[in-house]
Amino acid sequence: MNAPSQPSQPLQAGSLRLETALRLLQCSGIELPDTRHSDPAGWLQAVLDGLCELSSRDALTGLANRRQFEMAMAREIDRVARAGEPALVLMIDIDHFKRVNDTHGHAAGDQVLRAVARTLHECIRPMDTVARMGGEEFAMILPNCPPAFGQAVAERVRGKVQARPASVAPGVDVQVTVSIGGAFAPQWVRSSAALWVERADQQLYRAKQAGRNRACLEMPPVSHVSAEEKGLLFGHSQFQDPE
């Protein structure tokens, strides 16, 4: 008979090779508490929290990255399917971004991306998510956004970007506009992130084709679900075994 295994010893922060991780956090401006020796467990948790933060953020703009966006989409799809509350996703693309790079250089293009990111971040509520999807494309997830307000919300975002030229060099400002496509998640239906984004992308393409610097939204079909139907979907089954 084998002897019982001994309980593992608590992992000490000093026994780990953390140099690369610490350099990464330092270069990213994330400060760690000065408790490495007095509270190694708490300090190590701060290292892990910092690395998680870096892994979910776009390095250039500081917005959520595609990975974080996809996680937020999955949570929102689940919430909409269970609660039936409306939710809107906006796909946002900077118009004629290649022209900025060709005219002013890639460093200027980075300044434009940062400026647009700051403006988009100012447009969101605490429960919303704004992410950089890659290149000059951004996305927003807007929970509990009624369809009646969707177009106004998208137009507000578009207008705020247009109203703020991006400074790309001393004395040099670039006028920036965006095209926006939006789609609402189907209520009481467990859709997929790919289908939801695809529908918003179709509206973004429509905005581009219509001349850019505009917002096009796909309005959701009217779906009526009675209280009785909701109970059948989410209530306790009459066929459950008694506890």
For the chain, the maximum distance between any two Cα atoms, rounded to a whole number of angstroms, is 81
240 by DSSP, 3-state: which?
coil
| Structure tokens given for 142 | 């807007």
The residue among 164, 54, 4 whose CA lies nearest residue 46 is 54
SS3 track for 184-221 = ECCCCCCCCHHHHHHHHHHHHHHHHHCCCCCEEEECCC
- 64: which strand partners? 57, 131
pLDDT for 149-163, tens place per residue?
999 999 999 999 999
- How many other β-carbons are positioned within 10 Å of the β-carbon of residue 200? 25
- 166: which strand partners? 174
The residue among 191, 218, 185, 221 whose CA lies nearest residue 203 is 218
70 flagged as catalytic: no
pLDDT of residue 39: 86
Choosing from 136, 137, 229, 243, the catalytic residue is 136
pLDDT for 42-91, tens place per residue?
888 887 877 777 778 998 999 999 999 999 999 999 999 888 889 999 99
pLDDT of residue 243: 45
CA pair distance 177, 189, nearest whole angstrom:
34
Q: Are 176 and 165 in contact (CB under 8 A)?
A: yes
CA pair distance 178, 138, nearest whole angstrom:
10
- How many other β-carbons are positioned within 10 Å of the β-carbon of residue 203? 21
CA pair distance 160, 38, nearest whole angstrom:
48
Tens place of pLDDT per residue across the chain (243 aa): 555 555 444 555 556 788 888 888 788 788 888 888 788 888 888 878 777 777 789 989 999 999 999 999 999 999 998 888 899 999 999 999 999 999 999 999 999 999 999 999 999 999 999 999 999 999 999 999 999 999 999 999 999 999 999 999 999 999 999 999 999 998 777 788 999 999 999 999 999 999 999 999 998 765 554 555 455 444 543 434 444
pTM: 0.78
In angstroms and rounded to an integer, the radius of gyration of the C-alpha atoms of the chain is 23
Q: Are 176 and 116 in contact (CB under 8 A)?
A: yes
